[in-house]
């Protein structure tokens, strides 16, 4: 029997009290952890964006820079206290992000209770006709599943958009299911979805679902038109400012953020794996990849406003060239959203559990959400063509298909969690019906067997062993890098030693990735153990097949230590395998100059310019060498050519001014 009145509110109050106490204790542990104190990767990018908002303006510098990432989330961070005092920080004090975390925790709590409300609305729809109502505790099942899923709690304690996005999508589902025919609800849906789109542009895929639900509401045509209009007006009002801003700078109608083209390329480019692809460049300071685009397209420079279209063009070319491969990638990315392996791109989920032991209480794996949710999805489609559960089912499929156009990692699956929790209720009720229905048990189980088998097949990480073996050391390296940053900034040998231990575990368990070796060696040098660092680099070169970064590192180490003969040998071997590698050409040019071989150094600097005419380093190297050779006029000309390719470059400008003086 369903609890009513005071008993229901008492239950809700007790649940809220328990969860608030639990989060208070959990936050106390997590705030002093390495993950809260040293943000990396996407977290750093959002913090950089927030710093540009700290004066209260839109994200626009003197050159009129468009919104590349979320135009909303960085402003939220500023409102929650992330401002100019965070500039250039790599390590933050414990509790610095407390306001951000509590804001996200409140959204997490709000999602828990929204799921309970939605489950109440869906309760009757999920029960087959003629079936007696089960106990009321089942209404809390979606909320319980949501609570016990550990990665979502971890992302709640990070400087990322995931929890605000999860809350907004759940709120939109509540409006769609509770009372879409209401005028105020139609406007609220426009506001909610608009904010979600400002957090992540892919949420635009939910617009057709809202329009369909509003269109199917039973009401006079005029009233239906009013509600559709209210939804559309509120949606446009919310997203108008960034759309106008980006469109003005690009010269054509643009989305609120301009990262769709890059993500499309990362998901479908020639090197794409479904989990993205690795591209060279400084992605923290250049998240739009403008330098990489300039290099590929042999352009002097590329603006952020141009980058979106250029990446989309490259992605489209790759997709048209091999559509069968793209179709296979799409199917793989659909599977990545259901398979059980957690693709922890920006943080070590296992590392979080080690650093914050209380997280061990949250034990629910991803497959426990997917299997009953798939069963529920099948039962909804099969049994109830007008069932309200078709709304979360439609949202789930829409998001999965659209996200599969790009690439998939663990954090992008978080928005699916509340929907899976709701559909899992229908799946469990269907399983209960199969068990309790009269008739031969074997016949009933046989009828349900195909659905169960398919749902299990969906969660098995087929064909991902090689990807997982490549990903695991990078996850450990992510954990180790945070300790390395902390130790370096605070001169803490214990933190550096912790980084050494984690890097050591990474290269011992998965020895075929270059990144952990580089990090390992850097920390050993920080601890003044250069011989061990050199040995680690040498081990990496022997073990890693594609070891360009490690060989570069060895060359740089020999050069810094003054071992010129060894450095020259390493550089020449590198150039035989990678004749156009910019870093090696630069280092070999410097090396030859230090050996007094100026003519050979000049030849190497010219090779660097010819191979990379849009980069400044070759012009700097050649100009300095010509000055040392006494050819000042030629050096001036080279610096001027470099400034044409790289307007305003400080190194070229500085050297040109020295010649003028």
Q: Name residue, tokens 């050159």.
A: 63
* 139/249 same-domain check: yes
Q: In this structure, is residue 556 part of a structural domain?
A: no
Q: In this structure, is residue 567 part of a structural domain?
A: yes
| Pair of tokens at residue 176 | 């769609």
Q: In this structure, is residue 551 part of a structural domain?
A: no
* pLDDT computed for residue 59 by the predictor: 41
* 301/367 same-domain check: no
- Asked if 74 contacts 52 with a C-beta cutoff of 8 angstroms, the reply is yes
Backbone angles phi, psi at 149, to 5 degrees: -85, 105
Q: What is the pLDDT of residues 324-334, one digit of tens each?
A: 999 999 999 99
Q: Region 486-512: what's the mean pLDDT?
A: 89
* 198/315 same-domain check: no
* 22/68 same-domain check: yes
d(Cα 535, Cα 531) in Å, to the nearest integer?
6
* pLDDT computed for residue 106 by the predictor: 97
Above 90 in pLDDT, residue 293?
no
Backbone angles phi, psi at 85, to 5 degrees: -70, -10
* pLDDT computed for residue 86 by the predictor: 65
- 364 bridge partner residues: 149
DSSP percent split of the chain into helix, strand, coil, nearest 5: 75, 0, 25
* pLDDT computed for residue 124 by the predictor: 59
* 499/403 same-domain check: no
Burial 429-456 (b: 16+ CB within 10 A, else e): bbbebbeeeeeeeeebeeebeebeeebe
- 149 bridge partner residues: 364
* 185/310 same-domain check: no
- Asked if 455 contacts 376 with a C-beta cutoff of 8 angstroms, the reply is no
Above 90 in pLDDT, residue 58?
no
Q: How many CA atoms lie within 13 A of 579 on its CB side?
A: 4
- Choice among 461-465, 478-482, 500-504 with the minimum mean pLDDT: 461-465
- Name the strand (E) or helix (H) holding 98: helix 98-126
Domain residue limits at 45: 5-255+341-459
| Pair of tokens at residue 652 | 């070229």
Domain closes at, from 481, 514, 546: 546
Q: What is the pLDDT of residues 186-213, one digit of tens each?
A: 999 999 999 999 999 999 999 999 999 9
363 contact partners, CB below 8 Å, separation of at least 6 = 148, 150
8 contact partners, CB below 8 Å, separation of at least 6 = none
Q: Region 399-421: what's the mean pLDDT?
A: 95
Q: How many CA atoms lie within 13 A of 528 on its CB side?
A: 2
* 244/366 same-domain check: yes
Q: Region 532-559: what's the mean pLDDT?
A: 77
Q: In this structure, is residue 397 part of a structural domain?
A: yes
The DSSP line for 334-353 is: HHHTTSSS---SSS-HHHHH
CA angle 582, 583, 584 (to 5 degrees): 95
Q: Region 474-482: what's the mean pLDDT?
A: 89
Q: What is the pLDDT of residues 69-113, one digit of tens each?
A: 899 998 899 888 887 666 668 889 888 999 999 999 999 999 999
Instruction: Give the CATH number, domain containing residue 511.
Output: 1.25.40
Backbone angles phi, psi at 364, to 5 degrees: -75, 120
Q: Region 492-507: what's the mean pLDDT?
A: 92
Structural domain count, the chain: 4
* 470/421 same-domain check: no
Say how many residues make up the chain. 661
What band does 234 get if pLDDT is binned at 50, 70 and 90? very high
- Name the strand (E) or helix (H) holding 121: helix 98-126
What band does 643 get if pLDDT is binned at 50, 70 and 90? confident
Domain closes at, from 546, 578, 613: 546
**Higher pLDDT pick, 58 / 144:** 144
């Amino acid at each position: 029997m369903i609890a009513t009145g005071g008993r229901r509110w008492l239950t809700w109050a007790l649940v809220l009290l328990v969860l608030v106490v639990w989060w208070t204790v959990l936050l106390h542990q997590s705030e002093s952890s390495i993950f809260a104190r040293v943000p990396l990767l996407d977290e750093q990018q959002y913090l950089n964006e927030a710093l540009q908002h700290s004066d209260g303006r839109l994200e626009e510098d003197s050159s009129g820079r468009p919104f590349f990432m979320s135009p909303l989330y960085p402003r939220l961070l500023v409102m929650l206290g992330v401002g100019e005092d965070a500039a250039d920080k790599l390590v933050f004090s414990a509790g610095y992000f407390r306001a951000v975390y509590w804001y996200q925790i409140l959204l997490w709590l709000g999602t828990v209770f929204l799921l309970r409300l939605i489950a109440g609305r869906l309760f009757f729809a999920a029960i087959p006709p003629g079936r007696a109502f089960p106990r009321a505790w089942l209404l809390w099942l979606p909320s319980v599943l949501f609570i016990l899923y550990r990665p979502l709690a971890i992302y709640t304690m990070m400087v990322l958009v995931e929890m605000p996005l999860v809350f907004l999508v759940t709120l939109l589902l509540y409006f769609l299911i509770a009372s879409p025919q209401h005028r105020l609800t139609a406007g609220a849906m426009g506001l909610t979805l608009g904010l979600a789109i400002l957090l992540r542009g892919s949420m635009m895929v939910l617009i057709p679902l809202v329009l369909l639900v509003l269109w199917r509401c039973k009401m006079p045509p005029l009233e239906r038109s009013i509600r559709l209009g209210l939804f559309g007006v509120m949606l446009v009002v919310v997203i108008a400012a960034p759309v106008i801003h980006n469109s003005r700078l690009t010269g054509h109608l643009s989305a609120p953020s301009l990262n769709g083209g890059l993500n499309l390329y990362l998901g479908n480019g020639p090197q794409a794996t479904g989990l993205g692809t690795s591209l060279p460049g400084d992605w923290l300071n250049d998240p739009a990849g403008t330098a990489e685009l300039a290099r590929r397209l042999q352009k002097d420079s590329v603006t952020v406003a141009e980058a979106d279209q250029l990446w989309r063009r490259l992605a489209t070319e790759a997709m048209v060239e091999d559509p069968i491969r793209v179709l296979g990638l799409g199917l793989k990315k659909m599977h990545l959203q259901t398979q059980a392996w957690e693709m922890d791109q920006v943080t070590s989920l296992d590392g979080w559990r080690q650093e914050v032991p209380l997280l061990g209480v949250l034990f629910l794996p991803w497959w426990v959400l997917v299997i009953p949710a798939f069963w529920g999805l099948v039962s909804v489609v099969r049994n109830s063509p007008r069932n309200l559960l078709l709304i979360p089912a439609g949202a789930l499929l829409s998001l999965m298909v659209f996200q599969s156009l790009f690439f998939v990692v663990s954090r992008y699956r978080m928005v699916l969690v509340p929907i899976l929790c709701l559909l899992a209720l229908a799946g469990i009720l269907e399983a209960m019906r199969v068990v309790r229905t009269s008739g031969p048990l074997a016949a009933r189980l046989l009828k349900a067997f195909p659905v169960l088998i398919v749902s299990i097949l969906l969660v098995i990480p087929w064909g991902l062993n090689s990807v997982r073996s490549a990903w695991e050391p990078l996850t450990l390296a992510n954990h180790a890098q945070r300790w390395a940053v902390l130790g370096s900034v605070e001169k803490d040998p214990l933190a550096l030693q912790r980084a050494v231990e984690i890097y050591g575990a990474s290269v011992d368990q998965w020895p075929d990735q270059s990144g952990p070796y580089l990090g390992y060696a850097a920390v050993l040098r920080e601890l003044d153990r250069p011989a061990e660092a050199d040995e680690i680099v040498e081990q990496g070169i022997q073990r890693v097949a594609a070891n360009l970064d490690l060989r570069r590192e060895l060359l740089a180490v020999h050069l810094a230590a003054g071992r010129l003969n060894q450095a020259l040998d390493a550089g020449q071997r590198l150039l035989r395998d990678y004749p156009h590698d910019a870093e090696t050409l630069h280092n070999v040019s410097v090396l030859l100059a230090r050996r007094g071989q100026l003519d050979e150094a000049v030849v190497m600097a010219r090779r660097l310019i010819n191979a990379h005419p849009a980069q400044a380093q070759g012009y700097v190297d050649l100009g300095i060498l010509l000055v040392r050779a006494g050819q000042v006029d030629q050096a001036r000309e080279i610096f001027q050519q470099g400034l044409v390719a790289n307007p305003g470059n400080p190194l070229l400008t500085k050297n040109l001014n020295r010649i003028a003086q």
